[in-house]
Amino acid sequence: MKFLDHPPRFLFFTGKGGVGKTSIACATAITLAGQGRSVLLVSTDPASNVGQVFGLTIGNAITAIPAVAGLSALEIDPDQAAEAYRERIVGPVRGLLPKAEVASITEQLSGSCTTEIASFNEFTELLTDSEGQIGRFDHVLFDTAPTGHTIRLLQLPGSWTDFLNAGKGDASCLGPLAGLEKQRAVYAAAVEALGDPARTRLVLVARAQTSTLAEITRTQRELAAIGLNHQYVVINGVLSAPADTDDPLASAIYRREQQAIAALPEELRALPLDQVDLKATNIVGIDALATLFTPDPTTGQPEEPPVEVPDAPLAALVDQIAAGDKGLIMCMGKGGVGKTTIAAAVAVALAERGHPVHLTTTDPAGHLTDTLHGTLDNLTVSSIDPVEATRVYREHVLATKGADLDEQGRLLLAEDLRSPCTEEVAVFQAFSKVIAESRRHFVVVDTAPTGHTLLLLDATGSYHREVARQLGDRHFTTPLMRLQDPELTKVIIVTLAETTPVLEAAGLSSELERAQIHPWAWVINNSLAAAEPTSPLLRRRAAAEIAQIATVRNDFADRIAVVPLLAVEPVGIPALQALADARDTAVNR
């Protein structure tokens, strides 16, 4: 593998969710440890599953992996990091200030902005701690969050440095003013480490799919624009030329992948590039990870046909949704499972039935227009763009709060609004408007990958608690209360019939339940078992899906839909219509 040639100390693995960043990062960590190196594997993903891959609990502390000599792991847990960050600020004043004031400070530090800053602080310490406990590792590998979050994370050192250079800004975001000078030096050192090719290598991970290759193309350009140029490309899960050319699905997948690779833009062609073969089984466990970069020796005879897949078409869920005339439908899940496709298919099917539908996305890397590739009566499409939402929010605050201020006051307010935390508030407000709109007609939301969504829900919960505190016994309705109302909101969890996506979807379901939001249905997308392939490799992968489908059906979901993997990607209105054209009954538990 080219990206493993003379690796520097820091390696970042990034790309669209679901492409296998964690598998590639874990396999790299095992490979380097096997060469006698001391390796620390770090996950900066709010929805990390590194612990699931190794079969042990890791958490927010450096944890040795017993089965791999020389390998340790660390998950930057957003909740733990935020709690420690809050305690550093609140602890010194607890007992000195009135309880009400301490409670107010704690509440101000309970939002998603604090969570991101806390995680970011730990990230920068890993890049700059050359003499502490991180200094003992030869290599530090970062399994990063999905692309939109990663771009923001990598830009934050520059953003915060610029923010601090311009002025102190909003201290409620960054903590005590006395700590800012120290933070300035840490952030500047992080920027230097990221931009030094002798210390840092960026590995862009994709699948042989047009959408994920387009994503890493955008990533490559955005990283290069902030001075991060030492990049490599890994295309994961590439299907080898099928020996059985009688399987139309295998042949179609092979042709589609080869066409996507052949169409790589020049920027990616100029980078060192590796391809990792698709394996017959899921890459879970140390033994499987240790062989990820080697050819699959498995040949053998075809497996027995998979057991019968539940008859659970997507159309059945749409029929149940369409029985009403309005509501919020939120498609959630791990990046790369096809949330955008499912959300678009549901929206198109509802619009076909004559319902006015607003389809929108909260995913910074979402591209609904690419999926729809056309227009339809009754369907409007939008996106909650963080940059645009922030601009609108800043203008609104300056026009309202700033209306009665003098020039100096407006300048101070404008300075506060340059805080990176302003984006979090702006996106939350835009999301709240979408929720309110669902009282009039159907609104279908393609949410960001799991970690982003949980941060957004955290902001929604913080707002609810603040309103409840201020209004007391008076009647009120917050966005969180609408999300909790099953008559108004239907949450659809989208997953794949694979171990890690199902485990992560179950974790998301638990987080939603804690927020008193009960998932309405699960969609198992891109199912090989439902597609009934004849290729030996694909049949082995299809057989492995049955246990995961049963787990979802029996343990987690009130109702499910199983969507088969298609020979042609469902892009465009006609293809999305075909995805939900059956009229059978959904499977209820």
Which residues are annotated as catalytic? 18, 20-23, 45, 500
Helix H or strand E segment including 143: strand 139-143
Give yes or no for a contact between 193 and 124, defined as CB atoms under 8 angstroms apart.
no
| Alpha carbon distance 261, 258 (integer Å) | 5
| Alpha carbon distance 307, 94 (integer Å) | 61
| Alpha carbon distance 176, 247 (integer Å) | 64
- Sheet strand arrangement including 139-143: 63-64, 71-75, 39-43, 139-143, 10-14, 200-207, 231-238, 273-277
Nearest alpha carbon to residue 392 among 409, 413, 417, 410: 417
Q: What spatial distance separates the first Cα and last Cα of the chain, rounded to whole Å?
A: 46
Tokens encoding 144: 């990063």
Tokens encoding 440: 């009039």
| Alpha carbon distance 235, 205 (integer Å) | 6
Determine the 3-state secondary structure of 44 from DSSP. coil
| Alpha carbon distance 222, 271 (integer Å) | 15
Helix H or strand E segment including 522: strand 521-527
- Look at the alpha carbons of 569, 571, 573, 577 in this order and tell me if their dihedral is positive or negative: positive
Instruction: Give, in degrees to the nearest 5, the angle at Cα 13 between 7 and 19.
Output: 135
Residues 6+ apart with CB under 8 A from 587: 310, 311, 312, 553, 559, 560, 561
| Alpha carbon distance 364, 149 (integer Å) | 8
- What count of Cα atoms within 13 Å lies in the side-chain half-sphere of residue 69? 3
Q: Which residues pair with 521 in a beta bridge?
A: 492
| Alpha carbon distance 327, 324 (integer Å) | 8
Determine the 3-state secondary structure of 276 from DSSP. strand
Nearest alpha carbon to residue 364 among 348, 340, 346: 340
